[in-house]
Amino acid sequence: MMAVVGITGHRALSPAVEKYTVARTRRLLSRYPSGDLVGVSCLAEGTDSMFADLVLSLGGQLVVVVPAGNYRDFLPPEHRPVYDRLCVAASRVGKPLAPEVDLEALMSASRALVDEVDELIAVWDGEPARGYAGTGDVVAYARSRNKTVHVVWPAGVTRD
């Protein structure tokens, strides 16, 4: 049976938090045989791309949700080669959900991602979103849809 797992999380992580979240996310994804794993991501820098690389390294399939037609240009220039590499490796790249990136397009993409998955990994400090469409908002939406949410964050660590 296919396990469809999505990701949401903070974009900028300290090296220590990144090391912790990579290890914990790998453990969560390793519960599934490689042929049964589908990972769904928007491929933003940080958490989203770390997750996508883990899914692929474990032999899973990658599905990309594209928030908007100009999403690639919205990403930091240094991340665009990573985004391109992951899109090429994906088994499916969705059509852009909106013409232009704005907060509503980002939240709509997160809702589409949550609606597609069985469970969500949230690399999240547990704090409310700092702005609309932040990780806290995505977790709240997933919980409102009765999705299993795995919060991955080291105890006692606060985000910068």
Model confidence at 96, pLDDT cuts 50, 70, 90, reads very high
CA neighbor of 117 nearest in space, from 71, 51, 68? 51
Model confidence at 130, pLDDT cuts 50, 70, 90, reads confident
| pLDDT over 90 at 156, yes or no | no
Read off the amino acid at residue 118: D
CA neighbor of 37 nearest in space, from 52, 19, 23, 48? 52
Sign of the dihedral defined by the CA atoms of residues 135, 1, 59, 68, in that order: negative
| pLDDT over 90 at 86, yes or no | yes
Q: Which pLDDT belongs to residue 159?
A: 80
- Burial 144-157, CB ≥16 within 10 A → b, else e: eeebebeebbeeee
The per-residue pLDDT for range 59-79, each reduced to its tens digit, is: 999 999 999 999 999 999 999
The per-residue pLDDT for range 4-37, each reduced to its tens digit, is: 999 999 888 899 999 999 999 999 999 998 789 9
Residue 79 main-chain phi, psi, to 5 deg: -90, -20
Q: Which pLDDT belongs to residue 57?
A: 96
| pLDDT over 80 at 160, yes or no | no
Q: What is the pTM of this model?
A: 0.96
pLDDT mean across residues, the chain: 95
Model confidence at 113, pLDDT cuts 50, 70, 90, reads very high
In a 13 Å sphere around the CA of 91, the CA atoms on its Cβ side amount to: 12
Where do the domains of the chain lie, and which CATH numbers do they carry?
Answer: 3-152 (3.40.50.450)
